Amino acid sequence: MSAEVLLTVRDLSVHTGDTPLVTGVDLTVARGATLGVVGESGSGKSLTCRSLLGILPPGLRNGDDTTITFDGTDLRALDARGWLGIRGTRIGAVFQDPASYLNPSITVGRQLAEVLRVRVGLGRRAARDRAVELLADMGLHEPARVYRQYPFELSGGMLQRVLIAVAICAEPDLLIADEATTALDVTVQAEVLDLLSDLQERTGLALILVSHDLAVVAQVCEEVVVMRDGVVVERGTAGDVLTAPAHAYTRSLVDAHARYGIERFRPAVTVHG
Ligand SMILES: Nc1ncnc2c1ncn2[C@@H]1O[C@H](COP(=O)(O)OP(=O)(O)OP(=O)(O)O)[C@@H](O)[C@H]1O
Ligand SMILES: [Mg+2]
């Protein structure tokens, strides 16, 4: 087990004009660790993630006091060129709605192979072979056939597997999954979570898993932070946050789940109502 720090975020804030949307977020992620970020809609999860990728929406900016250090590099100081060596290579990301990240008129295999050519520097042939291999690694059956299919021919779960392949093909140190399974039905969601968990264990990449669903995060992550109204209200191990939530807001998230079967994810649960 290594406790080497990979990512340090201090006093992260996001503003639009003078209005703060996110304030005072501190995060530390060790190499190979898993961090879950939970909170209801609008709590600031995505703006926090986007800050880590240098892709805030137009008009939004990080506060001057925000520091983000990734493997020794000050991400706040990067210019567009500097980001090319980080985003998509050292830090991968997957979001909700995979279809919108793929070109509808190019086969998924060619799109993955293109990323392998550009980001990994593989030749045409090697990129194609590696793409098929990656599709198989993502648990897609008949990967050579999937390679030749267009996005509209694949289910949401299959598309998300393709996007995960794209996100990890350059062997990043950190993968950010922001509501990556939210749009999928429950069974497929569980399968994709298993895949992420499996990849994390197999490759040793660190994972930041974002969800409004505490059960999803607790299934995969050792550490959890809970956000509300742009601030972190609670943090701890997934077990502690589930069994002994300190904040009333977290308790309400846990209680809501107690009624829908979070029992599966923690040893003892008091079901209210
Ligand atoms: N481009 C934008 N311009 C202005 N305000 C924004 C913008 N994007 C997000 N916000 C606001 O910032 C806050 C945090 O948004 P964010 O998208 O980070 O929430 P979230 O926790 O990811 O929510 P969800 O679970 O719905 O994805 C919200 O109040 C949102 O309305
Ligand atoms: Mg979001």
Q: Which domain holds residue 22?
A: 5-90+170-270
Q: Measured from the CB, is residue 39 less than 6 Å from ligand 1?
A: yes
- Together in a domain, 221 and 145: no
In the predicted structure, residue 271 carries a pLDDT above the cut 50: no
- Together in a domain, 73 and 175: yes
- Together in a domain, 72 and 177: yes
Q: Measured from the CB, is residue 42 less than 6 Å from ligand 1?
A: yes
Residue 95 C-alpha to ligand 2 middle, in angstroms?
9
Residue 252 C-alpha to ligand 1 middle, in angstroms?
21
**Share in percent of the chain as helix, strand, coil (round to 5):** 40, 25, 35
Mutate to test the pocket of ligand 1, among 13, 16, 232 (most ligand atoms within 8 A of CB): 16
- Together in a domain, 177 and 84: yes
Tell me the two tokens of residue 44.
């600031």
Report yes or no on 95 lying in a domain: no
**pLDDT tens-digit profile of 78-102?**
999 999 999 999 999 999 988 889 9
Q: Which amino acid is at 14?
A: V
Q: Measured from the CB, is residue 60 less than 6 Å from ligand 1?
A: yes
Q: Measured from the CB, is residue 55 less than 6 Å from ligand 1?
A: no
Tell me the two tokens of residue 167.
């996100």
Confidence of residue 267 (pLDDT cuts 50, 70, 90): very low
- Together in a domain, 47 and 176: yes
Tell me the two tokens of residue 155.
């289910």
Q: Measured from the CB, is residue 41 less than 6 Å from ligand 1?
A: yes
**pLDDT tens-digit profile of 4-19?**
999 999 999 999 998 9
- Together in a domain, 159 and 181: no
pTM: 0.92
- Together in a domain, 181 and 71: yes
- Together in a domain, 34 and 161: no
Query: Environment class of residue 35 by beta-carbon count within 10 Å: exposed (0-12), middle (13-18) or buried (19+)?
Result: buried
**CA separation for the pair 240, 21 (Å, rounded):** 28
Q: Give the three-state DSSP class for 44.
A: coil
Domain harbouring 21, CATH code: 3.40.50.300
- Together in a domain, 218 and 154: no
Q: Measured from the CB, is residue 56 less than 6 Å from ligand 1?
A: no
Q: Measured from the CB, is residue 261 less than 6 Å from ligand 1?
A: no
Domain C-terminal end among 108, 141, 165:
165
- Together in a domain, 61 and 155: no
Domain C-terminal end among 135, 165, 195:
165
Domain C-terminal end among 165, 190, 213:
165
- Together in a domain, 253 and 175: yes
In the predicted structure, residue 273 carries a pLDDT above the cut 70: no
For strands 231-237 and 73-74, give the pairing: unpaired
- Together in a domain, 226 and 146: no
Give the number of whichever ligand sits closest to the CA of residue 20: 1
Give the number of whichever ligand sits closest to the CA of residue 12: 1
For the chain, the domain total comes to: 2
